[in-house]
Structures are given as structure tokens and as C-alpha cells.
Amino acid sequence: MSETETEKLLKKLVSFDTTSSKPNRACINFIRDYLDGHGVKSEVIASDDGNKACLWATIGPADKPGIVLAGHSDVVPTEGQNWTSDPFTLTERNGKLYGRGSCDMKAFIACVLAVVPELVKQKRTTPVHLAFTHDEETDMSGAIRVTDHMRRHNVKPEWVWIGEPTSLRMIDSHKGVAAFITDITGVPGHSGQPDKGLNAIELSARFIDILQQTAQSKKDKPFSPSRFSPPYTTFNLGTIKGGTAENIIAEHCNIHWQVRTHPGDDLETTLAMIDRAAATEFKPRFAAFTPHASMKTCTCFDIPPLLPTPGNPGQKIIGQVTGKPETEAVSFATEGGFFQKLGTHVVICGPGSIDQAHQPDEFVDKSQLVSCVDLIRQVLLFSGAA
């Protein structure tokens, strides 16, 4: 069976190693050139260092409200994962297409691009905007860059469709997620004289205990009713690094940690509770070593939650086309909250399963590509085509 245009596009997109730690310009340039080949002009919105970029394009009358089709071009790393084929070569096995980003989320981008030739031929009464970002898998700086671009150009869409892998089910709500680094500075010395030093690793263990106690307090008081699983704010310890040798009192230690906040729970209140507990624990121990000993927490990123909005036109249209108006809530984060801050409605719906995202041998089922392209066609014909 010959490749479909969508599969060809997905193969090309997967071939670009757009791991978040690397540039994505080659991928974005390919999309720009593809659109240009169909008469669609686009804007490449570069990062400050120029190594990464987002892409913004409009099909139809730009001065009217319309729909934004959005997706991220970056992918998570493959290092340390046991792949059975080259992760950056799209490989078909038993009706599944394997490759890094095949479902998260280059599949949706491929589906959107496959429909572009038809969109260009339409006499659209409302615009279709395309927004493809960088760094969704890290700090979501690409989404911030695109939404700033929309504000500056006074773009006010009716709704935004983000094609994260949901097995084409509609998502209208997700938790917020924030990441932090806590740096603890102790006082170095010989391990044979621990009373003359202050061990940063030991202090970090106590701080981790505070985080675990806070996490348990959230678990003990779940939200009810709740659409989320689990139905409470969660914590995760990512990495801990510190010390130089087993016979030296550790001077430095840092902890990377994360909070996924349940809607209705206030992150600032939670952080204040952690700060108070840490101050009570560490202030007496720091006093004898002032000003050398210290603890500092900085925010890496703070991704807003996505909340349901009444009268969401995207939810209505997709529900009518699919016959499945039901929506779900998820615990993973998306760029949706940044778009929602613009005052627009957001729907998360895309091909592939989130269960495959970030996994070795990530794949998307070919049937999901067919269904997604058909859904995009019907939705866009339903809204804004003359």
C-alpha cells in the first residue's frame, strides 16, 4: 500500500531531531517552505539566540476571528531508551508508525499540513491560523513567544485546537505544572570534624522530607468531586546533585522538583507552606554559619492550568462532527493555558495515545492519521468555508 501524503509529511517531520536541547530551525524551515509552495506566507518567530523558532501562518481573512491549529515541534530525548528501530526514521510495523514524535506531536502537524492544499482552494470567510512552537517539552517558551505575537498583532481567534495525543478524544481541562530548583549551601570541611561544617546533602534530605510531607497532606485531602486522576496536587523529585567526595562535608546540593496543581488548589499558598516549614527547620542551623550557609529556590517555569469554558465553540463543533460531545480532564500539561490567557476557548484533541508519548518505540496508529485528517477537514468545512 502506497504512502499517504500525511505519512510522507510525518516521515519528513520525524527525520528532524528536534529534541528540546537541540535547535529546531531545520524542521520549522521545512514547514515554512512547504507552506510557501502552496502559496501560504508564514512568519518565523526566532528565539533570542536564533537557534530555535516558532512558525505562524494565516489562511483566509486575517482581520476576522477564526481558529488556531497549534502544535509543538520539539520532542523528548531518546537517550537511555531501548528502541528497536532508528527513532528518527519513521518505520511502519503492523499498521503502526514508529518514531520519536510520531504521536507527540508531529502526527497532528502532519495532518494539518496535509489539509493545507484544500484550505488554500477554499473561499474562507474566517481565517485558519497555524501555530507551531518550540520547547513545549521543557519551559514552554515557544507558547509564550507565539501568544505574545498574537497579542501584539491583535489576533483574537474564536478558539484554539491543540493536537496533543488524546486518541482523538476532547480534553478541556488539565492541571498546572511548575518546576523549581532549590539550592542549598552548607559549609565544607573534613568529614572527621562534622561539628565544624554544615552538610548540604543532609539539609537537602530534610528539605525533601518537607516536600514529601506536603505531598502527603495533599493526598490526604483529595478534591471531591474531581475529574482528575489522582484527584489532588502532586509532587515529583526530579534530580538531586551534591557533594564532591565521601570524606568532604558537602558544601552544595541542589534539588529539581515539580508540582502539578489541581484546579482549585492555590500554588502560592502551597509554596508559602513549604517556605515556612523550611525556615523553621533551617534557620537555627544556618545561624551559626551566617552568611555562608543559605537556601534559595528559583522557579524554572510555571505552566498555567487549562480550565473548562462555557460556550466553547470548538467543543461544540468537534462534538457535532464526531458525535462524541463528551470532554475529559487530564493530569499532563499542554500549551493550552497560555492560549486561554488570551481570553479564547481551547480544545485539546489529537491523534495517538498519550500512553505512547515519551516512550521507547513511540508510535501512532495509521488509522488515527486518517481519522484526524478527516476530522480537520470536516471541522474546517463546518466553520468558515464559503
Which residues does 19 contact at the CB level (< 8 Å), separation at least 6?
Answer: 74, 75, 76, 77, 78, 100
Cα torsion through 142, 145, 149, 151, rounded to 10: 110
Active site residues: 74, 136
CA distance 62 to 45: 18
Q: How many Cβ atoms from other residues are within 10 Å of residue 66's Cβ?
A: 24
CA distance 296 to 97: 45
Q: Are 168 and 349 in contact (CB under 8 A)?
A: yes
Residue 223, judged by CB atoms within 10 A of its CB (0-12, 13-18, 19+), counts as middle
CA distance 334 to 172: 11
Strand partners, 296: 183
